[in-house]
Amino acid sequence: MPKMTFIERDGTRREVEVAAGYSLLEIAHKFGIDIEGACEGSLACSTCHVIVDPEWYPKLRKPTEDEEDMLDLAYALTKTSRLGCQIVLTDELDGLVVKLPPGTRSVLGL
C-alpha cells in the first residue's frame, strides 16, 4: 500500500498508509486530517486545496482546466497548489508529500 505524508498547519507531519485509489481528500477524512472538502469532490469549492511538495508536483497528472479555474479562487495559492479531491493516490505516488495551506476560502460560503 502506498504511503503519503500530510504536513499539517502547525508543521506536524502525518504519515499515512492507505490502499491505492483514494483521493487525497478521502484519505484526509479517513485519518482525521483537517481538509474541509465542502463540495465533496465535485470541483465546486477550493476548500480541499493542498500544496504539493515541489519534488512531487511534476509527477502528478496535470490539473484539468476546471481544476485550475477553481484553484484560482483558493486562498494562499502557490505554484504547486492542487485540489486534494482531484489527486488520486497510486502506487507510483508512494511517498507523496503535501502541505495544508494556512487557511481556505470556500466559494460556496459554507
The residues in 62-91 that bind ligand FES, with binding defined as CB under 6 A, are: 70, 83, 85
**39 scored as a contact of ligand FES (CB under 6 A):** yes
The residues in 18-37 that bind ligand FES, with binding defined as CB under 6 A, are: 25, 37
Other CB atoms closer than 10 Å to residue 42's CB: what's the count? 9
Q: Distance between the two ends of the chain, CA-based, in angstroms?
A: 34
Q: Which stretch binds ligand FES (CB under 6 A): 12-20, 38-46, 57-65, 94-102?
A: 38-46
Cβ atoms of 59 and 97 closer than 8 Å: no
Cβ atoms of 49 and 83 closer than 8 Å: yes
User: What does the binding site for ligand FES look like in residue numbers (CB under 6 A)?
Assistant: 25, 37-41, 43-45, 47-48, 70, 83, 85
